[in-house]
Every structure is written in structure tokens, then in C-alpha cells.
Amino acid sequence: MTGLADRVLFRDGRVIILDKPAGLACHPGPQTRESVETYLPDLTFGIRELPRLAHRLDRDTAGCLVLARTARAARQVARLFSAHHVRKTYWAVVHGVPDQTEGRIDAPLLKLSTAADGWRMIVDPKGQPAQTDWRCLGTAEGLAWLEFTPLTGRTHQIRVHAAHLGLPLVGDPVYGNGDGERMQLLARAIHLLLGETPVAAQAPAPPHMRPWLSRCGYSGN
């Protein structure tokens, strides 16, 4: 990868919304050679400060990622995320077809960690409240194309809630069966209000998702 400057969906003096590619982690780790943080110097666009990640996406989730361009903007955006005043929309292709066309998942999430298996999120009454709205956009051949709107921002929320519905994401190695496929999850759109100014962006379906989405009726619009 040569940089991320050509993947900017929105930019003003406060924030950048980036179309993060699937497979690129947000933060470096012991086995992570590169991450979004590697490319922050390419995203200054004339501002002396390096942009800061305002939230994160899983390594294998593509799509809209917000960066704050200054310390002041970082504080403003952090308050919006903390107050759940950021609207996020996700697309996923899942195994199975829902019985209804839309619904709400209300299932608290708890982090479970073991020495043998590492950590994962589980649905548990002792966990943090988590709600996700969903609707079905298309189906085919035992698959469904779902749109998720999380009302809270828990780790792995979309993936765990989808599996809780009995509709695990195609390619999810933790909450599904992996399938040997790439995970079919896109942070499709994001909307936030900074002061009186709306900030919004929409990410295109990435190449690895288009064949799966097309099977479910996606036309590329």
C-alpha cells in the first residue's frame, strides 16, 4: 500500500473521513507491520498536527473511519461518540435469511477472556447495554444482505449481534465459521454534527464484497 490520501471520502479543517481498506488495522500491534497510524503523515494536508483516530474499525472491516485533524477537533468528536450522537450504518452479508424484514437487537455484551482461547465478546445479562437496528436489503441462496445501525458502540457489536440473530457474517472467523472467505462487513456510512455543520460520508462496496452483495440484489448504486 502506497498511502491512504486517495481514499479520503470527506475532508474539512476539523475531520477526515477515510475509506479504510479491509485487512488494514487501525493501530499497530505485535504482529502488525502496518496500520492506519503508519500512514497518518500522508494525511496532514497542510496542518502541522498529525490526525488522530476518533474511533476504530476491526482490521477486516472496510469503510468509513473518522480522523480528527487537531486536538480541539479530537475532543469535540470524542464527545459526540461518547454521547452516541454519531450515526453509523453498516452493510453485511450473512448466512441465513431473517424471518422479518427489520428489527432491533437488544442484547448486552460482555468481554470474555481465557488463556486458551484469548478474548471475544459474548451476549450476557451482566454485560454493557447494546442495541442494534437492522433491516434486510436483499436475499438469495440462503444469504442475506443486511443493513445495521448500531445505537451503542460496543466492541464487535455488529458481528456478535448478527450471530445472536442466528445470522453470522460470511467470513467471520470468530463469531461465524470463517468459511475461508474474507469477512463481509462494510462501515457503509457515517454522519455527525460538528457545531451547526453536518459531516457525512458514504463508502463504496469494496471489491471483495461486491460479488456477495450482487448475489443478494446489489446493483452497484
Alpha-carbon span 81 to 135, nearest angstrom: 23
With b for 16 or more beta-carbon neighbours within 10 A and e for fewer, the 169-178 pattern comes to bbbbebbbee
Collapse the DSSP code of 118 into the 3-class scheme (helix H, G, I; strand E, B; otherwise coil) and give the result: strand
Q: Torsion angle of alpha carbons 29, 30, 31, 32, nearest 10°?
A: 30
150, β-bridge pairs: 132
Degrees, nearest 5: CA angle 169-170-176: 60
Q: Among the options 19, 58, 60, 172, which is catalytic?
A: 58
Active site residue 12: no
And the C-alpha cell for 143? 444469504
Look at residues 173, 107, 155 and name the one whose alpha carbon lies nearest to residue 134: 107
Q: Which three cell numbers stand for residue 211?
A: 460479488
List the alpha helices (DSSP H) in 100-209. 157-164
Q: Which residue has the cell 452493510?
A: 91
Active-site annotation, residues: 58
